[in-house]
């Protein structure tokens, strides 16, 4: 946790609250609630028999934990404030197709939808990273929404996932925040590595 030692106090509180959530999630799963250190790349280091994901913002934190190989091969979650995405970030976050889809929405909805899109991409990033070790760019995914669900399509091959691979996830709102989550089912991993 060296990198958090140099962080501002608010960041330290968020980090520790998120780790407390992870330990509670392990307890709820019937597991021993152990510490979750950060790897040199700042990703959480889970016990060998568990998978999980952690996210936090200034007002909310969450963790999702499962036993490796039971149902899910990977999990990714993200939480963001339910606020408009700064408009200057649109070009960095959104693909041309995503920007065109946002243009079809009401002007007062566009930037909040862009924040949801950002959160969905973050959840997919956290889901695939333990499997591939690949750092994705926002342009590496194209996200489409249907109600409370989303699909994120890879725009290039990433590890075991070919170009065009789709990650399916969900979107919810809680405590003034956007929450997104995605999993890769074990059955899908088996077909990718066979």
- Each domain of the chain, given as residue ranges in start order, spans 57-193
| 3-class SS of residue 175 | coil
162 or 58, which is more confident? Answer: 162
Cα Rg of the chain, angstroms: 17
**Within 10 A of 31 (CB to CB), how many other CB atoms are there?**
15
Average pLDDT over the chain reads: 91
pLDDT at position 194: 47
The tens digit of pLDDT for each residue in 67-120 reads 998 899 999 999 999 999 999 999 999 999 999 999 998 988 999 999 999 999
Fill in the DSSP letter of residue 34.
Answer: -
How many residues in total does the chain contain?
A: 194
What CA–CA distance (Å, rounded) separates 122 from 181?
A: 9
- The number of beta carbons lying within 10 Å of the beta carbon of residue 4 is 14
The correct CATH number of 57-193 out of 3.90.470.20, 3.40.50.1820, 1.10.357.10, 1.20.120.160 is 3.90.470.20
What CA–CA distance (Å, rounded) separates 74 from 52? 7
């Amino acid at each position: 946790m060296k990198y958090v030692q140099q962080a501002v106090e608010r960041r330290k509180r968020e980090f520790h609250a998120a780790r407390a959530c992870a330990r509670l999630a392990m307890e709820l799963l019937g597991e021993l609630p152990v510490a979750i250190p950060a790897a040199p790349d700042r990703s959480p280091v889970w016990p060998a028999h568990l998978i999980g994901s952690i996210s936090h913002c200034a007002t909310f934190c969450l963790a999702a934990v499962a036993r490796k190989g039971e149902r899910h091969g990977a999990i990714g979650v993200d939480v963001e404030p339910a606020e408009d995405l700064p408009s200057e970030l649109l070009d960095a976050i959104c693909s041309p197709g995503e920007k065109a889809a946002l243009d079809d929405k009401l002007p007062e909805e566009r930037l909040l939808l862009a924040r949801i899109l950002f959160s969905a991409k973050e959840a997919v990033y956290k889901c695939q990273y333990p499997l591939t070790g690949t750092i994705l760019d926002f342009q590496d995914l194209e996200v489409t929404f249907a109600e409370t669900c989303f699909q994120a399509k890879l725009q290039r091959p990433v590890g075991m996932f070919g170009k065009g691979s789709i990650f399916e996830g969900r979107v919810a709102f809680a405590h003034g925040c956007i929450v997104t989550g995605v999993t890769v089912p074990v059955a899908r991993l088996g077909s990718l590595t066979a």
